[in-house]
Amino acid sequence: MPKNSIGQFLSALRRASGLTQQEVADRLNVSNKAVSRWERDECAPDLSLIPALAEMFGVTCDELLRGERSSPRDFAGEENSEKPKAKADRQVKALLRSRIRKYHNLTLLSVGLTVGGLLSALVADLAFSEGLIAFALAAAFAAASEICQICFARNAVLPTDEETGDYAEPMGKATTGAVKTAVGVTFFNLLSVAFCLPPAVVVDGANFGLTFPGWLRYGLLFSFLAFLFFGLVYLLAVRKILIRSGLLIYNEAEKQALERQRSLLRKTAAISVGAALVIGVGIFLLNCLPTDSFAKRKVFPSPAEFKEFVERECDERRDDLSYEVLIGEEGIEDAPYREYGEILNSRGEAVCSYYYNPHFYYSIEFSHTSEDGAPITVITREGIRDAVELKSGLESGLYLLLLLDFVLAAGVYIYKGRKRMAAARA
């Protein structure tokens, strides 16, 4: 048979089989217009239909893609078979590129739906202060995006059985790429839902909404936790299911490398989670401690020293925020705010009296067992402010250490995992 295009070859095979375009279309579950367009070379059959067409007309996939039947000369030597094989390879690559391009364009539609949900949620929360409605909109758009992506991925998956022959490998790579893209879109949808969860669960967020800085802070935290959780689920379980079902295709060496990666991930995750628990206990204990336990204390061994200190502070800091406007019969006047106090001994007798400004001090503690009330411990307002900053800094440091723990674990896993996969593909 002379060399023809795929369309001419299909037309000749159909006529030789005594079939009409409608009969071919019915067997393939396509329209007769599609068959007519194939035969006129206006477009090529979908790559997933090539095995079915080859079986229908009693030819091989290679012959169908080349547009001619194989002759004995094609098997006489390697040189004679190179040109027909190269032509078929070009046909397969062109069909695969067209199919992948179409799938990626449809994927943009799914991503656009999710982004539309995020924008709708922002408007519902920031403009109308409706936290629950914001989350519901984001979840609904993400669900619609996921359904669309599943449908697109199902249509993009190609057969990789024995009927595809020499083209099983490129078809398998195309299928693996389509499934990985679908997994990526699924992650994007899950993280977008997690990002929009704070307005619905944070206190008062559901009823009054959240400010954008508050939403951004909680949303990034929720998204990070969702990424860690769903990432572990995918790497430990879902990916193995996809490989067994033939949707992710790897050779034996790559499968062994992935199994070693799973073992590495379990060990890395166990160490990282253990360290995270230790850091979490540290954060919990830190928050259980009172703030004044971090404050610097002034201890006075005698009442005279204490009295001198507080009265000097009261007199010297006249320009501080210790003044109060007093309203009397003669009008308004500024006067230093002061109170009088007494130091009592163990019998309840006054040892000495003093005046002081209570706004300057967080706490003043006397000894109830000594005769003069000494030692006297004072925590100033400046000291308690420094203590708050110190405690906040320690807590921030522990959270940063927690983040570094996860980042370090992820870095070790990615580095060693890629190194093992590269060695398996070499």
Same domain, 195 and 325: no
Give the CA count within 13 Å in the CB-facing half-sphere of 24: 29
Rg (CA), the chain: 38
Instruction: Say which residue the tokens 């405690």 belong to.
Output: 391
Same domain, 51 and 91: no
Looking at residue 323, its pLDDT comes to 41
Same domain, 110 and 230: yes
Same domain, 243 and 307: no
Same domain, 23 and 96: no
Helix (H) and strand (E) counts in the chain: 15, 7
Same domain, 59 and 105: no
- Alpha-carbon distance of 34 to 55, in angstroms, equals 19
Same domain, 68 and 87: no
Query: pTM for this structure?
Result: 0.66
- Alpha-carbon distance of 217 to 142, in angstroms, equals 21
Residue 277 lies in a domain: no
Residue 290 lies in a domain: no
Q: How many CB atoms lie within 10 A of CB 339?
A: 11
Same domain, 72 and 97: no
DSSP code at position 46: P
Residue 419 lies in a domain: no
Single out the residue in 55, 76, 97 at which a domain terminates. 76
Same domain, 342 and 320: yes
Domains identified in the chain, total number: 3
Q: How many CB atoms lie within 10 A of CB 91?
A: 21
Residue 383 lies in a domain: no
Residue 39 lies in a domain: yes
DSSP code at position 4: -
Same domain, 365 and 306: yes
**What CATH number corresponds to the domain at position 19?**
1.10.260.40
Nearest to 183 by CA among 241, 222, 269, 260: 241
Cβ neighbours of residue 195 under 8 Å, at least 6 residues apart?
A: 118, 138, 219, 220, 222, 223
Residue 149 lies in a domain: yes
Same domain, 69 and 176: no
Residue 296 lies in a domain: no
Q: Which two tokens stand for residue 116?
A: 């539309």
Burial bucket for residue 255 (CB in 10 Å: 0-12, 13-18, 19+):
middle
Single out the residue in 329, 356, 374 at which a domain terminates. 374
Residue 147 lies in a domain: yes
Q: What is the pLDDT along the chain (426 residues), one digit of tens a residue?
A: 344 577 888 888 887 777 888 888 888 888 888 888 888 888 778 777 777 787 788 787 777 777 776 655 544 444 445 555 666 667 777 777 888 888 999 999 999 999 999 999 999 888 888 888 999 999 999 999 999 999 999 888 876 655 555 667 777 888 889 999 999 999 999 999 999 998 888 755 455 567 888 888 888 889 988 998 999 899 889 998 998 888 888 888 888 888 888 888 889 989 999 999 999 999 999 989 998 889 999 998 888 888 888 888 877 766 554 444 333 444 444 445 677 788 877 777 777 888 777 778 888 888 877 777 788 888 888 889 999 999 989 988 998 998 899 889 989 988 888 888 888 776
- 105 with 173: CB under 8 angstroms? no
- Alpha-carbon distance of 222 to 50, in angstroms, equals 46
Looking at residue 344, its pLDDT comes to 77
Same domain, 140 and 241: yes
Domain that includes residue 191, residue range = 83-249
Phi, psi at 333, each rounded to 5°: -145, 155
For residue 260, list its beta bridge partners: none
| Torsion angle in degrees (nearest 10) through CA of 311, 317, 318, 323 | -90
Single out the residue in 359, 374, 389 at which a domain terminates. 374
